[in-house]
Amino acid sequence: MVQFAADPRVFLARRPVLLKFCRYAGVSVISTLVSLLVLTALVGTGAATAGWANVIATAVGTVPSFELNRRWVWGKGGRRSMAAEVAPFAVMSFVSLAVSTLAVSRATAWAGGAGFGDHGRAAIAVATNLASFGSMWIVQYVMLDRILFRAGR
């Protein structure tokens, strides 16, 4: 039988994989909020089209995501390697953006052809965005843990 400690930090400290995953989730919340703030500012002020604003927002959100994942989640210090860490992380982030953009585009095109109205297409777009980014989020966690920031590297 599993006993839960009164303090959740004690529970998590005894389970380093769960703690790492919770930290990874926290970093995702922070970087998503940063991206959404940038996206809102760029689109809301008319400084960029929605498409370009999304690319810029993703790029800006990638910076805190990389640093927090590297240092707080995986405990890496010292100099970061552009070739071994920064570039692969950026590529993973933009592959996620491309996959999500393609999936949302195709899903909303299908929904339009299937007779869904504006609200239906919006719901399909949101569900597809969450599903595609969620899938890529899991893939990215595994790649960061097993390859990019693995122990002993």
Confidence tier at 149 by pLDDT (50, 70, 90) = very high
CA distance 94 to 89: 9
Within 10 Å of residue 89's Cβ, how many Cβ atoms? 22
What is the per-residue pLDDT across 106-148, written as a single tens digit (0 to 9) for each? 999 999 999 999 899 889 988 998 899 899 999 999 999 999 9
Percent of the chain with pLDDT over 90: 66
Q: What is the pLDDT of residue 3?
A: 58
Instruction: Give me the pLDDT at residue 139, please.
Output: 95
> pTM for the full model?
0.81
* Neighbour tally for 138: CB within 10 Å: 9
